[in-house]
Amino acid sequence: MVIQNARVEFAGGGQARQAHESVRGPGVDARSLPSWGIYARNVEKLTLEDVRLRLATDDFRPVISANGVKELTLDNFKFTRVPGVAPAMLTNVTQVNWPEQPVLNPP
């Protein structure tokens, strides 16, 4: 999957504890996701190229959460930074290409 030249603004307001809540598969699940911008699970290849994600209000979840992604590429990926919040939560991600940003994994 490739997402290119996208500009998206999010309301924000998420809490840090929401980044650790489990997510149920398809169906009606209105709970919040573990990230405020991009949530990817069980994806072969995900590329975000020239993508800008912006928050209207601080959100204490990471901008991207990926689980079971074989290849993640973030090229010219820009986002609102919230002090003290790691930008990414990556679990079982085989390869990461993110030249502008060091990847920070949760403890």
Q: Rounded mean pLDDT of 11-30?
A: 76
Say if residue 107's pLDDT is above 80. no
* Residue 41, amino acid: R
Pair of tokens at residue 96: 């990461």
The span from the CA of 106 to the CA of 104, in Å, is 7
The 10s digit of each residue's pLDDT in 39-82 is 999 999 999 999 999 998 999 999 999 999 999 999 999 999 99
SS3 of residue 18 by DSSP: helix
End-to-end CA distance of the chain: 28
Q: Are 33 and 23 in contact (CB under 8 A)?
A: yes
Q: Are 71 and 95 in contact (CB under 8 A)?
A: yes
The top-scoring range by mean pLDDT among 23-32, 64-73, 92-101 is: 64-73
Say if residue 103's pLDDT is above 70. no
